[in-house]
């Protein structure tokens, strides 16, 4: 039986480990302020985000909510909208559930606005255990910590996956999707062994075989963005640009990755969906 399950018609996942955990990614509170600077005016989506999270928490009764990065949007500064809305939504949610955050690339200075009783993990990710299984959690804008190399499953956000579809009239539209894939072990080894990323001190001077033995073959699940106005990046468009060192260095297998709509519909492999 699968120990995790994306919630139907939502961009949220329920994890059954030693406790029940709700996981979301890329809330991007404050995005509307950035839109307004470009002449596009939308009402704040934060009340809707809060309402959806509270509904999921009350329905599924998790003990913990984990946010996989990019809680806020504006970088490097904190907008007035973020100063106002982030503490309020977090304090409201804390009445229902514990909260843990893995910071993303948009979360600079986030610690200035979050309540002190929220767990704030390293940006390189951390590990949850489910019996003998290890689940790595990472936003995706950094290389994973060395300890995440041998996890069984890796959850990531950051790239806001979507699929661009064409209807019978030839009109394109995008749908948010979950992407399930693997990484390329040879390329992971190449970049870790050449120390193109920072290694722990106790591993930095050891033979690359130690790193090689540590690299597993995790199932990787890439989360769609939770913010309702973000459709995302079309993973089935060969011209799309993906961000983060795992993508920049072609460590993520894309052609054979599988795409699932948020209602659970399996669309197929990306190579069968290219436009």
Query: What whole-number distance in Å separates Cα of residue 234 and Cα of residue 275?
Result: 10
Q: How confident is the model at residue 196 (pLDDT cuts 50, 70, 90)?
A: very low
Average pLDDT, the chain: 92
C-alpha torsion 200→203→204→208, nearest 10:
-130
In this predicted model, what pLDDT tens digit does every residue of 216-246 receive, in sequence order? 999 999 999 999 999 999 999 989 999 999 9
pLDDT at 1: 43
Number of DSSP helices (H) and strands (E) in the chain, helices first: 7, 15
**Residue 74 scores a pLDDT above 70:** yes
- Give 131's DSSP letter: T
pTM value is 0.93
Q: What angle, 0 to 180 degrees and rounded to 10, lies between the N-to-C axes of helices 80-94 and 46-60? A: 10
pLDDT at 208: 62
Query: What whole-number distance in Å separates Cα of residue 246 and Cα of residue 132?
Result: 26
């Amino acid at each position: 039986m699968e120990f995790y399950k994306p919630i139907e018609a939502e961009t949220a996942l329920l994890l059954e480990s030693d406790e029940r955990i709700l996981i979301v990614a890329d809330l991007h509170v404050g995005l509307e302020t950035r839109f307004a600077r470009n002449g596009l005016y939308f009402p704040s989506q934060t009340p809707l985000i809060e309402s959806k999270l509270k509904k999921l928490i009350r329905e599924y009764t998790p003990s913990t909510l984990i946010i996989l990065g990019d809680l806020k949007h504006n970088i490097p500064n904190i907008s007035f909208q973020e100063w106002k809305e982030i503490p309020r939504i977090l304090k409201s949610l804390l009445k229902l559930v514990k909260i843990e955050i893995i910071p993303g690339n948009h979360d600079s200075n986030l610690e200035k606005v979050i309540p002190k009783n929220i767990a704030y993990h390293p940006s390189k990710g951390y590990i949850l255990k489910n019996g003998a299984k290890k689940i790595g959690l990472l936003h995706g804008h950094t290389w994973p910590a060395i300890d995440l190399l041998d996890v069984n499953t890796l959850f990531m956000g950051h790239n806001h996956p979507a699929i661009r579809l064409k209807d019978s009239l030839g009109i394109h539209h995008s749908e948010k999707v979950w992407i399930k894939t693997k990484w390329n072990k040879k390329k992971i080894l190449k970049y870790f062994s050449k120390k193109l990323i920072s290694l722990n001190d106790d591993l930095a001077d050891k033979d690359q075989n130690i790193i090689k033995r540590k690299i597993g073959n995790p199932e990787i699940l890439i989360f769609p963005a939770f913010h309702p106005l973000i459709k995302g990046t079309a993973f089935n468009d060969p011209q799309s640009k993906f961000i983060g060192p795992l993508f920049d260095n072609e460590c993520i297998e894309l052609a054979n990755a599988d795409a699932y709509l948020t209602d659970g519909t399996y669309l197929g492999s990306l190579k069968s969906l290219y436009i």
